[in-house]
Structure 1
Amino acid sequence: MNSSNDVTAGALAASQGKTWKVRYSVLLLIWLGWLFSFLDRMVMSVSLPFIGKDLNIDTTEQGLIISAFFIGYAAFQIPGGWLADKFGPRKVMSIAITWWSIFTSLTGFVLTLPFMLVIRFLFGVGEGCFPAASWKTISAYFPSKERGRATAIQSSVNTLGPALAVIVAAGIIGAFGWHTVFIALGIPGLLIAVTMYWYFRDNPKDHPAMSQQEIDELVADGANLTASQEAPTPFMKILTQPVLWQMAAIWFLFDITFWGFSSWLPSYLMKVREFSLAKTGVMAAIPFLCGTVGTLLGGYFSDKLKSQRKWLYVATSVISAGFLYMTYSVEDANSAVMFQCISSFFMFFAMAMFWGILMDHIPTKIMGRASGIVNFGGQMAGVVSPPIMGFLIQSSGGSYNSAFIFMIVALVASAAVTMTLKSDTRAQV
């Protein structure tokens, strides 16, 4: 951005002060959509022991239930991004939330493993279309100086969702059984989908509530609000961007740890640390709440220390891995939870850095397809991580030690790949 644009942006910021902007409402709705996407998927982690008992399936087969979701979720990351770039994120997000909410409720009626696998796959298809569309919307509505915080706020559901899920699921399962959890959680998503379709516009300049100052602020930041009139970037050109594959690899390795951590934490606390269901509901939530704080602080520092994002990711990932080791190696159960909390804080601080890096490296024009490719890499981790960890746990006679080592190695490897990124590299369109 040249100096005259810097002055313009500064003047706009000063004139707007702290007034509520359309982009904040957009982010709030996206946040709610993400929150229920995580609630709808993460209650499965608490429900698994009860589903396993009802359906008479072992931990490896329980891992397959989680994988069935991720197969659908991962498979539709790239198609969801393509649909968002072609038809606009407004329609894609509204239809996606409606779809997965229906299959969330249908999960509560399942009585056999094959039917469960089909339902969870189709549930994953709906959720898979949502992420790229949401990131494209954030990229379109937020100037670059705020995207780190915006994506961190959106990403806070990665931790808040599991935290609420274990509390909600534990309470409802204790009172009504696991079936009711899924049936009830499908309803709010339908309301969010309707509100999104009514309020959102694909292009900020078409939003009736956008002020001219907000539009000028985006233009001064370099946004092209007539991008829909340009020829689309060929998909093959997007695929040839090396930075895209570096980021997909980082996210794949990070998500091996994240999904292993999220999927098996409740079972670990109940089976190894011998917590009751009620205590698990509380103690499993605490590390994720710490992760929420880490995510929000990470987003703040992501915008403040943009040039140091890569190294902050590397440092916090390694620190998180160290505390994961201490989690399973300590004898005292309460100390284990404390170390989980510290590990979670640094893990999700790193996650906020990652999405700030991505927003800087990927232009809005291709954000749908590009972020879909990156998130595809991450969600493939969700396909392989839970069953591998289930196998490691089962093959070691119920010990979680090898599963923790698996997560630690993946997180350190993600830091190693991050070190290969060049700060000034940006995808070319």
Structure 2
Amino acid sequence: MSHTAQADTSTVPASDTQERNRTSISRPMIGVGFLLVVLSYMVNAMDRQVFPPLLPNIRAEYGFSLEQGGLLATNFTLGMALAGLPAGYLLDRFRRKTVLLVSIVIYSLGTMATPLATGFADMTLYRVVSGFGEGMQSAAIFAAIGAFFAHRRGLAFGIIGVGYSVGVFIAPLIGVRLMSAHGTWHSPFYLFGTAGLLIAAAALFLVKTGLTEHSVEKSASTSTFEHMPASAYNRNTIALAVHSVVSGVAIYGFLGLYPTYLITSLHYTAEQAALAMSLLGFGGMSAVLGGWLGDRVNQRGLLIGSMLAVSAISVCIYQTQAGVGTQCVFAFLMGAFGLGFVYPNTNSAMQRSVRPEQIGRASGLFVTSYYGTAAFSGLLFAALVDAFGWSRAGLLQVTALPLLGVLALLFVRPARFNNAVR
């Protein structure tokens, strides 16, 4: 439904803004706004995942080493990590919609600038800037949607995760096809960057503040939270942050160099490697199931099982030298557990570990912990490959490391979640 004109509240504290903007919002507008949020996160994923399948061509053009290529494939997560905690601070004090729109513009411009790089240094800068915008957007989306769908947070995050997975699925296929059609790897970056700017323009008018500025305190007014720690940085959030660091390094190290592994070690064509990457994104669409389960079962147990699955699938990927068809099945399963189960449930568990008014900080902490060390995961993986070869490197970073995440999860106490039955 239409909204009357409102004064600019972009610099008004969030608590005041939420009260001021609690106008009614129709279900169709909720649907339209939520769809645009999902689409914006899909473009976010496309910007991230178009780089790895094009990396062999980028390395050939610039003469980058494997270590430099590995760092470029994942260093955008450094920008995401740098954005996490500041974004959490801003989200607790300013309009979430404002943070969301600014973030989309930042990462879209960073993506469009990537082909303009003259060397390693400025390409690194453009990737980090893009990641900074993506980190701001992630924190804004999950804070806003986590507040609006407080009682179905896992399912809502799972649907957003499907949007991300669709981006992971189509980005390699579109990117490689455009590169082949135009004879250059530049065009996909211009296309995806432009798509982000168009979505930001649409969101300015169609994503209503009734969706983004929802007050969690009001929706949770019948609940009490005396069983929870007063601080946002408590035993549960710290344990989940450690788990996030470990899973970020393992999963993003894998994502960043998986196409390079398929092309250089298993001698796949660029199209075959892009297909495997797309199947990985297709597997990530199980985020709806993963999020739905996270609302209904012991979330710590679900995360532990998912991390063990990631570890087992890694053995299959790096130790069996599988053919194209079998490798695509492994990629699908890695996407299902790594993107579809681990990501949304870690995110929602982090928000459930704090009191409702601290959701912005929890969202920022998740982004920083998950993406912080992931920025160097590609560099670490490349160094391990140079030292030990692909099989042992995969065993160390993608098989053994998730077990440390399982250990951290053992310290999580679901009884102290804000949705725990008292």
Normalized against structure 2, the TM-score is what?
0.84
> Corresponding residue for 1:359?
351
Aligned to 2:191: 184
CA deviations 1:128-150 (Å, max 9, x no partner) are 21111111111221141x11100
Q: What CA deviation, in whole Å up to 9, does each residue of 1:60-118 have, x standing for no partner?
A: 11123235422222111111121122111100010110111112111122232222112
Q: Compute the displacement of 1:263 (Å).
A: 0.9
Matching residue within 360, 372, 378 for 1:386: 378
Q: How far apart are the structure 2 equivalents of 1:152 and 1:304?
A: 13
Q: Please, which of 36, 39, 50 is the counterpart of residue 46 of structure 2?
A: 39
Residue 165 of structure 1 aligns with which residue? 171
Farther-moved stretch of structure 1 (181-190 vs 418-427): 418-427
Q: Show the counterpart of 1:14.
A: none
Query: Equivalents in 1 of 2:198, 2:100: separation in Å?
Result: 13
Q: Could you say which residue in structure 2 is the equivalent of 1:69? A: 76
- Where does 1:150-229 land on structure 2 (aligned, <5 Å)? 150-176=156-182, 177-204=184-211, 219=218, 221-222=220-221
Report what 1:232 is aligned to: none
Q: Which residue of 1 aligns with 2:412?
A: 421
Contact kept in structure 2, 1:238 and 1:370, CA below 8 Å = no
- Counterpart contact for 2:318–2:394, Cα < 8 Å: no
**One-letter code aligned to 2:413:** K
Cα 1:73–1:206, aligned 2, differ >3 Å: closer, same or farther?
closer
**Aligned runs of 1:103-122 on 2, under 5 Å?**
103-122=110-129
- Size of the aligned set, in residue pairs, is 385
User: What's the CA shift string for 1:305-349, capped at 9, x where partnerless?
Assistant: 2xx121121122212211211221113323333233333323332
Kept in 2: contact 1:269–1:284 (CA 8 A): no
Residues of 2 paired with 1:89 and 1:125: CA distance? 16
Q: How big is each residue's C-alpha offset from its partner over 1:272-324, in whole Å with a ceiling of 9 and x where there is no partner?
A: 1211112222122113212322x22111222232xx12112112221221121
Alpha-carbon distance in 2 for matches of 1:324, 1:251: 18
* Deviation of 1:198 (Å): 2.0
Q: Are 1:375 and 2:367 an aligned pair?
A: yes
Structure 2 residue aligned with 1:50, among 48, 57, 60?
57
Distance 1:156 1:100 in 2: 20
| Candidates 361, 373, 392, aligned match of 1:401 | 392
Do the aligned residues in 2 keep the contact of 1:328 with 1:336 (CA within 8 Å)? no
What is the rounded CA distance, in whole Å, between the counterparts of 1:174 and 1:155 in structure 2? 29
What's the counterpart of residue 99 of structure 2?
A: 92
State the SS of the aligned residue for 2:416.
coil
Is the 1:248–1:375 contact (alpha carbons within 8 Å) kept by the matching residues of 2?
no
Deviations 1:15-64 (A, max 9, x none): xxxx9454433322221111111111211111211111100111111123
Query: Residue 341 of structure 1 corresponds to which residue in structure 2?
Result: 332
Letter in 1 for 2:397: F
Q: Which residue matches 1:12?
A: none
Alignment of 1:278-289 (within 5 A): 278-289=271-282
1:331 aligned partner: 321
CA distance in 1, matches of 2:46, 2:312: 28
- 2:17 corresponds in structure 1 to none
Contact 1:70 1:380 in 2 (8 A): yes
Q: TM-score under structure 1 normalisation?
A: 0.83
Q: CA deviation at 1:187?
A: 0.6
CA contact (8 A) 1:321 1:343 kept: no
Does residue 251 (structure 1) correspond to residue 244 (structure 2)? The answer is: yes
Q: Is contact 2:32-2:206 (8 Å) kept? A: no
Relative to structure 1, the CA distance from residue 152 to residue 59 in structure 2 (aligned partners, 3 Å threshold; closer, same or farther) is same
Tell me, yes or no, if the aligned pair for 1:63 and 1:386 is still in contact at 8 Å.
Answer: yes
Q: Distance in 1 between matches of 2:397 and 2:259?
A: 18
Distance change in 2, residues 1:53/1:127 (3 Å): same
Matching residue of 2:37: 30
Give yes or no for contact 1:245–1:374 (8 Å, CA) kept in 2.
Answer: no
- Kindly tell me: are residues 50 and 139 of structure 1, through their superposed partners in 2, closer, same or farther at Cα, counting changes over 3 Å? same
Q: Which of 247, 258, 261 is residue 265 of structure 1 equivalent to?
A: 258
Determine if contact 1:108/1:181 at 8 Å carries over to the other structure.
Answer: no
Q: Which SS does the other structure have where 2:300 is aligned? A: helix
Q: Deviations over 1:241-284 (max 9, x none)?
A: 23221121111111112211211111111111211112222122
Gaps of 5+ in 1: 1-18, 208-214, 225-236
Question: Which of structure 1's runs of 4+ aligned residues deviate more than 6 A?
Answer: none
Distance in 2 (alpha carbons) for counterparts of 1:191 and 1:31 = 14
Question: Does the 8 A contact of 2:73 with 2:378 survive in 1?
Answer: yes
Q: Does 1:292 align with 2:282?
A: no
- Give identity over the alignment, percent: 20
| Superposition RMSD in Å | 2.6
Describe the superposition over 1:157-178 as per-residue Cα deviations: whole angstroms up to 9, x where unpaired. Answer: 4433222121111111111211
